[in-house]
Structure 1
């Protein structure tokens, strides 16, 4: 059992850490205020190899491991912005297409997601649909060589950006089927942009489909089995989310340490106080436990462990509450300053707040793990 990162992973972490400091941290406040990523960021990320890392080289990927993807998400999320979602989506979505797609789909759609030519999106959620494929209202009706798509999707990250998406719709048999689509084509429209509490740069929108035609050749996976595709992708996304959450929690700890050393009470730094030291110790311990559980889960995915998707649900169950508590403790150490926008900790608190409900709720993951254990 080796808990050491390999040479390539160490180099990747160092590279992404430097990139985040130079390209994201310097404009993090602006990203948070504008709720939009700079148009140039996607190409810059692609140039240092942050997309399609686990995708085979023949499709434009790096053929690396999922642990490396987690490391990248962790370091980018350290900024307390939504920039890590770009890394996550342009890894998990092309990797999902590589896993389920036909050779024609792989050749046509994956490379633009890996080289930064397009933003990747997932379009499953609807106004009255959380994680239930039977409740889908968006339809895909066959017509000649195409499917005609009608309906509305909610909370589509980067749905208003040029690129490609995996769309889930109810086919003519009443079952959930997945398709790969080109965004912003005829019949594709952005209906609403959501103003989120934190994680500036996520760029979440509602999408309306009005008689949008999708070639039958763009079907992803087996017809009527779109939920299997979704389960695979969302499990990958949970692991990436755990990595990003660890990164934000680490930033919160570093901010708390810096503040505690600089804040004085009765001519002494509050970092010398036992109560503050205990809080820092608790934060550190939670982060380390969350980090290594996340790495282990990504490793299990790399090993194609038969239960890696269930392990992803279990990881989220532990990691997200742990890092949320860690971040809140770091905020408490800041006192009233933890509630001020001039301090990075305030941005981190808002950025991580949605983790319990985004990429499936904690309750759904409890059901996944509990039902598996009860079999």
Structure 2
């Protein structure tokens, strides 16, 4: 058992931290205000190979592995939950391709996404589905050597960015969900105006409309009729990114709380001298450190996958604990700031808005506990 980061991990962590502090932090409020990430940030992320960290060199990645991936997402999320969301969503979708795609599909879709030239999306949710794949209404009808897909997907991240998208539709041959991989903005693909999220701004979510989208039969991702397992595997890897992003927000809340407490004067001394403030900051530190080692461990397990069911349990457990703890931490950080924490001039409010979204995406906390319990109890 070794808790020390390797030299490669330290380098990736430092690279992501330096990039974040130089390029994202100065425009973090702008991203939040305008709901748009400046193109030069994507360009720099691509140059630094941040999109390809988990994946092998054979598919266009860096070969660093999933154990390094949380280190990068954490640093980026210290400044912007929206930028971290884009990286996390791309990794989720590409992870599903890495697990289930044919060699031809991998060759076509993975390298551009690993280089950051394209951003992948993952589209399961529909207006009436919630988390139940049995309620899926998007259809895929076999027509010769093609499938014709019709339906609406809701709250899809990065659907506005060029790249591939994994679509889940009920095919008319098995009557079960099947995964399909296709290019966004192909004929019949369109999106809504972005939803106005309260946080993680810059990472847009839209509805996706599929009207008579025709894809070749070799667009099926994984076994026909087994889309549920493609979905579950992809989401499990997605929880690594969401949890890492929550950790980054927690670390930012801790840093801001310490800074404010050391600067804010009350009764001729800083509030850092008051025991109540000390106790609050200690609670923030406790929860942040507990979350950190769960997240880092999940990255290790993703890289050294042996039992998919066991990994799904660990991913659900980590996601529920870390994202809930993150919301607690952000509230405590606002309490340290007092009334100033409610002002848009202070970043702690933006962090709070980012973190309450993390608790809801990739499966709400109670659903994660259901997954954890079912896998523990059989």
TM-score range, shorter chain: over 0.9
Instruction: String of CA shifts for 1:67-105, please: whole Å, max 9, x gaps.
Output: 211111100000033000122123232222021100110
Q: Does 1:326 align with 2:340?
A: no
Partner of 2:145 in structure 1? 145
Contact persistence 2:320–2:364 (CA under 8 A):
no
1:39 CA drift (Å):
2.5
* TM-score after normalising by structure 1: 0.98
Instruction: String of CA shifts for 1:197-245, please: whole Å, max 9, x gaps.
Output: 0111110000101101111111111000011111111111112111110
Partner of 1:171 in structure 2? 171
SS at match of 2:191: strand
Partner of 1:355 in structure 2? 358
Distance 2:324 2:264 in 1: 28
Match of residue 319, structure 2, among 304, 313, 316: 316
Q: Please provide the CA RMSD for this pair.
A: 1.1
Runs of 4+ residues over 6 Å off in structure 1? none
Larger displacement relative to structure 2 (328-337 or 232-241): 232-241
Contact persistence 1:28–1:81 (CA under 8 A):
no
Partner of 2:235 in structure 1? 234
Contact persistence 1:331–1:338 (CA under 8 A):
yes
How many pairs are equivalent?
A: 375
Q: How does 1:3-42 map to 2 (within 5 A)?
A: 3-42=3-42
1:300 CA drift (Å):
1.4
Partner of 1:187 in structure 2? 188
Partner of 1:303 in structure 2? 304
SS at match of 1:192: coil
1:311 CA drift (Å):
0.6
Match of residue 340, structure 1, among 337, 340, 343: 343
Partner of 2:65 in structure 1? 65
Distance 2:208 2:132 in 1: 19
The runs of 5 or more residues in structure 1 that have no matched partner are none
